[in-house]
Amino acid sequence: MLKTPETRTDSKTKSKVREAAPANRILVGDCVSLMRDLPAGSVDMVFADPPYNLQLSGDLMRPNHTRVDGVDEEWDRFADFATYDRFTRDWLGAARHALKDDGTLWVIGSYHNIFRVGAILQDLGYWILNDIIWRKTNPMPNFRGKRFTNAHETMIWAAKSQDAKYFFAYEAMKNLNEELQMRSDWLFPLCTGSERLRDADGNKAHPTQKPEALLYRVLSSSTRVGDTVLDPFFGTGTTGAVAKRLRRNWIGIEREKTYAEVALSRIGQVEPAAEAELLEPPTKRSQPRVPFGWLVERGLLQPGTTLYDTRRRHSARIKADGTLVGANHLGEHNGSIHKVGAAMQGLPACNGWTFWHYVEGGQLAPIDMLRQRVIAEMH
Amino acid sequence: MLKTPETRTDSKTKSKVREAAPANRILVGDCVSLMRDLPAGSVDMVFADPPYNLQLSGDLMRPNHTRVDGVDEEWDRFADFATYDRFTRDWLGAARHALKDDGTLWVIGSYHNIFRVGAILQDLGYWILNDIIWRKTNPMPNFRGKRFTNAHETMIWAAKSQDAKYFFAYEAMKNLNEELQMRSDWLFPLCTGSERLRDADGNKAHPTQKPEALLYRVLSSSTRVGDTVLDPFFGTGTTGAVAKRLRRNWIGIEREKTYAEVALSRIGQVEPAAEAELLEPPTKRSQPRVPFGWLVERGLLQPGTTLYDTRRRHSARIKADGTLVGANHLGEHNGSIHKVGAAMQGLPACNGWTFWHYVEGGQLAPIDMLRQRVIAEMH
DNA sequence: CCCGTTAATGAATCGGCAG
DNA sequence: ACTGCCGATTCATTAACGG
């Protein structure tokens, strides 16, 4: 086991008492057995960049590299895919063991292997959340002019099961995209230039090093500060480097000791980003719940005050218990800000916080402004 | 069997003497048995848009409480993955029978089904040439904010075997793309507006009608004038309409008679293009949009870095999600580079790209310089 | 007829918590 | 496990409407 300088074994303080995974380490060896040795349900996310179909790289071809003719060919082909499928089932199963029930899995691949990976992970019970396209700004051209330029790779993002409560940093993703929802197609350049790790002779340290920007978006979309990320095909440690930068814990598994050594030295040079609060913008959903009645209790709104919608088409009065009463052609409506807002509009539901407004200096202001004031006082 | 006005049974003049498929017809019925009944090796290309097996459960409501009109047809319901896989193996096998040895297969799908389709077609001996991403300019948003906006669909383009001599219109594709090799990611809008077929009540004639532009590129990339294209899930006949326009022969198979009737009438109105017009003029590329967050992801700016205006009267710090945080006498401001720039100056609006500067070698440089660098990478 | 505003809609696997 | 309620959530485009 290789250790980083800043080795930590922070016992995570989550609700369930579980054994923590050994964080910020590289484990050298076979990822299937090493993942099975990790405590069950101990990591928040798995990012995997598995080898492509070995049939293509020749590893699964016959030793003499001959191709079989005729009837035998189909069997041979089946055998190759079957071997790759078995390998895929094994590591996806082991990852499932290490992954928390509410954790998520990312896998990246190309058309050579991604269809097999996707089908198998569905068979194992993973629930696909998105497939994400990494569009390359600078792909390798198709030199022979026989196909379209293969200008993308595919990632699958999946939860452990259909009803898992996975984490998605919706607001952070939206902020990264200038207030528009982040889409399933991402544009990044290949890993080249100074980011690309090379040995003393100038040769690539690893043939398929991924760009850090890609991992930056993956990790910030689906993990929180302090979470643990497991990468079973660690290579030269892009996942670990970005995890450290974003103040996530990481576990890398790598079979080749040479890669692991490069990765360890690389990660040692990474500086974690500025203060944690810069990394974790408060999401609306994680804010404390403030019932409307609290505003009345605190005197921010008086019983008897009239509330309006933005166009003053609807109005309702505040009762002392924090409910509203309003009337339209359908009759009188009593209840929560949400229920009355919905009833007045004839809709099945309504967010009363943004629908109802109070009058301040002749202007209408949403009652949500008052809630924000209360939330600010709670810190 | 439904017949078009211009019914033809041109005996194809290819090298091998083979029975020709009955072209420019819609066959109503089960595609598996009908494809098996076609002469073996009689079609040049298969384009298939099979059911996606969406597995939708309850209703999805938009934020304004209207209901999303999703796919709820009987033909998209399968008991489980095994049933869907059996169905997929059956139709892919039958298509293989009808397809010429040097013909190619196209299948379109989403993450719900495309991994299973891809794995099965590999198992059957098809050889994947490309996976093609249809990027949608106007996808439906993710209304609940729980995932990335699903903004693309995937097509697989495959030859019948590894050593097949398939056809690829390399030059035509390059011409369509301003003299650059055509890439594997294609950008098209959804089929809406006047192109979308509707019944007398204004309802969609088919829930999943594909845009003609998509088929235009598919057909011109991998068929020649006079070739025969088979679509086993014909629906309302987009494949037939574009094939006729491009002077290709077509065979449609459709189970629902209603769809077939709509398709036949639609195709009857199509005028074949003049020989000279068979290639569309290059489409103009629009200037790419680069959100500020991309600079942070790509490491051009670090979280925690301070930005200034030209005179250093204002400053703000970068957060990991690409927003800024700054403070003045009015309080703290959070948000996009534009929003915070405006708030710091007390102005209604501000172009953050030119307002904010970063420090490089003691000098201030506008962040727009970094954006230009990213745009340059995108061509 | 033009312009500004409002409404409609697209292959969608789209809660969470208290009680 | 089930029920009920709180309350969070949308982009690009076209068509319809209103003045």
Residues 6+ apart with CB under 8 A from A242: A212, A215, A216, A219
Cβ neighbours, 10 Å, residue B346: 9
Sequence-ordered alpha helix ranges (H) in chain B: 31-37, 81-98, 114-123, 170-176, 212-222, 238-245, 257-268, 293-297, 337-345, 352-355, 368-377
Q: What are the tens digits of pLDDT across the range A123-155?
A: 999 999 999 999 999 999 998 999 999 999 999
Beta strands A43-48 and A228-231 are: parallel
> What residues of chain B lie within 8 A of the CB of A348, using their CB?
61, 65
3-state secondary structure of A155: strand
Distance CA A347, CA A288 (A): 27
Q: Do B119 and A119 touch (CB under 8 A)?
A: yes
Residues 6+ apart with CB under 8 A from A200: none
Burial of A193 by CB count in 10 Å (0-12 exposed, 13-18 middle, 19+ buried)? exposed
Is residue A157 pLDDT above 80, yes or no? Answer: yes
> What residues of chain A lie within 8 A of the CB of B116, using their CB?
115, 118-119, 122
Q: Do A150 and B320 touch (CB under 8 A)?
A: no
Distance CA A6, CA A164 (A): 33
Q: Which nucleotide is nearest to B203 (CA to C1')?
A: C9
Res B287: pLDDT: 58
- Measure CA to C1' and name the residue nearest C8: B66
Q: Do B297 and A213 touch (CB under 8 A)?
A: yes
Res A12: pLDDT: 38
The token pair that represents A6 in the structure block? 């800043």
Asked which of A298-307, B43-52, B85-94, B262-271 is least confident by mean pLDDT, the reply is A298-307
pLDDT band at A275 (very low <50, low <70, confident <90, very high): confident
Which of A242, A241, A250, A245 has the alpha carbon at shortest distance from A274?
Answer: A245
Distance CA B117, CA B109 (A): 8
The token pair that represents B80 in the structure block? 């489980």
> Which residue in B has a C-alpha nearest to residue A217's C-alpha?
B297
Give all domains of chain B, ordered by start, each with its CATH number.
25-279 (3.40.50.150), 292-377 (no CATH)
Q: What are the tens digits of pLDDT across the range B75-94?
A: 999 999 999 999 999 999 99
Sequence-ordered alpha helix ranges (H) in A41-169: 54-57, 71-98, 114-123
Distance CA B371, CA A108 (A): 27
Nucleotides of C under 7 A from a protein CB: 8-17
Distance of residue A137 Cα from the nearest chain B Cα, in angstroms = 5
Beta strands A357-360 and B127-136 are: unpaired
A346 sits in the region (left: phi over 0; alpha: psi -120 to 50; else beta) called left
Distance CA B376, CA B379 (A): 5
Cβ neighbours, 10 Å, residue B168: 20
Q: What are the tens digits of pLDDT across the range B183-229?
A: 999 999 999 999 999 998 899 999 999 999 999 999 999 999 999 99
Nucleotides of D under 7 A from a protein CB: 5-15
| Mean pLDDT of all residues in A262-270 | 98
The token pair that represents A73 in the structure block? 């060919």
Q: Do B116 and A133 touch (CB under 8 A)?
A: no
Residues, chain A: 379
Distance of CA A67 to the CA centre of its chain: 42
Which of B213, B356, B217 has the alpha carbon at shortest distance from B295?
Answer: B356
Q: Do A347 and B65 touch (CB under 8 A)?
A: yes
Is residue A5 pLDDT above 80, yes or no? Answer: no
CA of A351 to C1' of C8 (A): 22
pLDDT band at B159 (very low <50, low <70, confident <90, very high): very high
Q: Which nucleotide is nearest to B198 (CA to C1')?
A: C9
> In what helix (H) or strand (E) does residue A266 lie, and over which residues does it extend?
helix A257-268
- Side chain identity, residue A116: R
Q: Which one of A89, A134, A143, A147 makes the best mutation probe of the B interface by having the most chain B beta carbons within 10 Å?
A: A147
Q: What are the tens digits of pLDDT across the range B26-48?
A: 999 999 999 999 999 999 999 99
pTM reported for the whole predicted model = 0.89
The token pair that represents B150 in the structure block? 């699903």
Is residue B240 within 8 Å of residue B214, measured between CB atoms? no
A303 CB less than 7 Å from any atom of strand D: no
A186 sits in the region (left: phi over 0; alpha: psi -120 to 50; else beta) called beta
